[in-house]
Structures are given as C-alpha cells and as structure tokens.
Amino acid sequence: MNKKMKHVLLALCVCIFGLMMTGCGSAINTTVKLTSATKATCTIEQGYDDEMLDGLASMSEMTKKELINELKGSGAKYSKKKIDGVTYHMFSMTVKNKKLSDIEDLLSSAGYTNVCLTKNFFYATLDPSTAGSNLTIAKLADAAQLQKNDLTDSLSFYMNVKVSFKNKVKTTNGKLSNKSKTVSWTIRDASKKKNFYASTSKVTKTAKTTAVKNNKSYKAGKKITVSNSKSLVKMKLDGKVVKKNTVVKKKGTHTLTIWSKNGKVQNVTFTIK
C-alpha cells in the first residue's frame, strides 16, 4: 500500500474510532465511484466537532493544531461545515483509480466488516460494538477499553456513504439517484449495527454453503460447495478470494465468507483437524 493510501487509512481509522467516544460529534462522508471493471475512485470527508478533535489530539499525544496539521500534511483539504446544526472540522481527500481490492482493504482496516466491492456489487457492515477491534493505528487509543464503556448514546453522529456504479442498481437497502446508478445511505444513530448493500442484479435465491457449519470440525480435504451458485458474488477463505468447490487441506481454524447478489452474507468459522 503506497504512502497516500496509508494516510487515507489513518484518516478512516480516526473516523471510525470516533464511534467509540462519548459526548462528542463526528461526521463521515465516503464516496466510491467505479471508474472501470477493476478500479474505483474513493473520496473520504471526515469531520469532528471541537470536543472530538480535542479528545483525539490528546489521545494521539498532540495538540489540536498539530493534529490538524498532521491530517493536512497527509494531503487532506481542511474546511468547516455545519451538518444537522453541528459545526465540524472537515478533512477530505481522494485516491483515484485504485484497485477494488485496495478500496476493500481500506474500509476493512478502518473498522467495516464483510466488505465486498465489485463492478456490480457493494456490501459492508458497520458495527460500533466491534469497530474498534479492527483499528490498525494503535496510538490513537485503547479501543478495547472504550468498547467496554459502551458510551455511544450521547454521541452526535452523521454518516453518509455513496457508491456509484456504471450500470443501474436493481437491489439495495439504500436510496437511489443518478438514474439508479448511485446509491447512498445516511446514518444518524452511531449505536446500531448497519449493513449497506447494492447490486446491479435482481435475484431472489441466496448463494450459500451447507458443506461447513459454525464451530464444527472436519477432516483435511473438505470441499466447499455452494448452492445457488448463480447468485454468488464472491467467496473468501481466511480473507483470500477462492472459487466454489475449493478444497481445504490446511489444519486449524478457518473463516469463510460468502456474498450473494441479493444482499445476503454468510459467515462460517470451522476447523480442519
């Protein structure tokens, strides 16, 4: 991952970290635009109210001015914006024409789970109860301790996620615009788990497996079969893309994730003896 991508990752981590703080406010705008079958441009705009920025600066062992300069030094554009009556210090930056897998990695490292992005499909989960455990910038804070406090109730929060495809979206839980090629989601409650999904396909059947089940053990050589495979978007084993009918030989615990075109996701953890 190049230097600029790492800076964007830092900014995203700071954003999701904001979900775990109390009495403060954060605003996050993430825009993904598919530029080809394999690449996308991603713009991230994040904002913090005065109290949030003070808290982040303190935990980063910086002054507020130093933190602002750190983010500006990463190539971020700085401004102030009022959203829902709250004034935020806003930082925005863009990475252009990056591999879809790079965008997936950014979102995953920032605290999203179940992230999947293809030319025809998007899925991600934001779960405030677990987001902190995925942060990779350790110096920001002890996220695990913040999770124990469960203090998101008084948080002033605004999030908007927008994804634009080349083709019309036919299945989504978001709001359509731009001739049904753009989907957006707006969240104002930071305490609840949220799934985002959009697909240019309209199917009713769910791609899934019954070959392995949660917390079960199997002999080496277990084949991962998938039913309703025409609905399959992507399948990952231990974070790596694999094809249906993959044979698992390596001993140990494995995690399988299957994304279906109808917006369903299956997660299975199993063991090979």
Q: Distance between CA 2 and CA 5 in Å, rounded?
A: 5
Q: Which of 227, 185, 211, 199 is nearest to 268 (CA)?
A: 211
pLDDT at residue 13, rounded to an integer? 55
pLDDT at residue 137, rounded to an integer? 32
Listed in sequence order, the residues at least 6 apart from 91 whose beta carbon sits closer than 8 Å to its beta carbon are: 11, 45, 46, 47, 71, 72, 76, 77, 78
Q: Distance between CA 63 and CA 58 in Å, rounded?
A: 7
Q: Residues 118, 100: contact at Cβ < 8 Å?
A: yes
| CA 231, 237, 243, 247 torsion-angle sign | negative
Render pLDDT for 134-170 as a digit per residue (tens, 0 to 9). Answer: 443 333 333 333 333 443 444 567 889 999 999 999 9
pLDDT at residue 235, rounded to an integer? 98
Render pLDDT for 108-137 as a digit per residue (tens, 0 to 9). Answer: 876 789 999 999 999 999 876 665 554 433
Listed in sequence order, the residues at least 6 apart from 95 whose beta carbon sits closer than 8 Å to its beta carbon are: 4, 5, 8, 41, 42, 102
- Nearest 10 degrees: CA dihedral of 146, 150, 156, 161? 80
Low-confidence ranges of the chain (pLDDT < 50): 18-22, 134-154
Domain ranges of the chain: 3-199, 217-272
pLDDT at residue 126, rounded to an integer? 85
pTM: 0.81
